[in-house]
Amino acid sequence: MQYFTTKTELVAYLSKITKKKTIGFVATMGALHKGHLSLIEESNKKCDITICSIFVNPTQFNTASDLANYPNTINTDLEKLEQLACDIVYAPAIEDLYENEEKAKEFDFGSLTTSMEGEFRPGHFIGMATIVEKLFNIIQPTIAFFGQKDLQQLQIVKALVKQMKSTIKIEGVSTIREENGLAKSSRNKLLSKNAKTEATLIYNCLNYCKNNKKKGIVELKHYITHQFEQHKNLKLEYAEIVALNTMQPIEGWQRENENAICISAYHSGVRLIDNIIL
């Protein structure tokens, strides 16, 4: 496994080895769990070379404390990537990717960024798109793999590639879950065993919507709200049923697999998000 901390060295290395080879790319902020590793495995299956970036991106955090508290597990992360036969790791310092005082680039993704995460985490998506565009320009992957757990992000990255007029294929990979259904997340480490058990309410509500679609959107949203009201340790931030192509709430069902139920909730101060495509 090759390890690079500067884009100059990475680009020089890639220019020597990538002729006529497909490149799979997985962008991460470290603290790797099975969800991230499933993306690496998918890339290994489909591409000649797999590259993983580890970079805690400052422009996508809403508060300085969130950024400061983000876990740094670089040595463990590298061990996990080595075991999976990841070919290249790019783990730069901030100054390798951002000029001094550089802010997030302005993007217009239309309706994709205005609801849900866009509403509750202002500025998050332009920060995410800023760094993803930079990484895409450096690595120039054939396919980039993103987890479906961050569904809104996935749709925005697809829109970003169109705006870049790029041929990069964006592939969404199914959410990896704990045994009890809770979506794998770096934040799960902050939850007690009991909190993890209680947080399965999120997945249970998503499944209820999937299995009771005929009840209609209004009734399903009422059901979720009522369920959260019965659990004092869980605070519902939002529950929205949206169209995949717009990420906007809908009043009536779109075609099969073109709708999603998305939930964000807090337990013990830890923010958890999840979704299911319907």
Q: Report pLDDT for 127.
A: 97
- Alpha carbons 90 and 145: distance in angstroms, whole number: 16
Spatial distance between the Cα atoms of 70 and 94, rounded to a whole number of angstroms: 15
Q: Is 193 left (phi over 0), alpha (psi -120 to 50) or beta?
A: alpha
Q: State residue 235's pLDDT score.
A: 98
**Does the active-site annotation cover 36?**
yes
C-alpha 257/C-alpha 98 separation (Å) is 38
pLDDT at residue 69 in the model: 80
Alpha helices in 47-123 (DSSP H): 64-69, 74-83, 94-97, 117-120
Q: Does CATH place domain 186-277 in 3.30.465.10? A: no
d(CA 203, CA 189): 18
pLDDT tens, position by position, 139-155:
999 999 999 999 999 99
Query: Around 194, how many Cα atoms within 13 Å sit in the side-chain half-sphere?
Result: 4
Domain ranges within the chain, ordered by starting residue? 2-173, 186-277
* pTM (whole model) above 0.75: yes
Residue 118 confidence (pLDDT):
95
Angle at CA 177, nearest 5°, toward 144 and 113?
50
Same fold, 2-173 and 186-277: no
What is the distance between the alpha carbons of residues 53 and 10, in angstroms, rounded to a whole number? 11
Q: Which residues of the chain have pLDDT under 50?
A: none
For the stretch 167-186, pLDDT in tens is: 999 999 999 999 999 999 98
Which residue out of 36, 124, 226, 231 is catalytically annotated? 36
CATH topology of domain 2-173: Rossmann fold (3.40.50)
pLDDT value of residue 109: 97
At residue 64, the pLDDT reads 81
Sort residue 44 into left (φ over 0), alpha (ψ -120 to 50) or beta: alpha
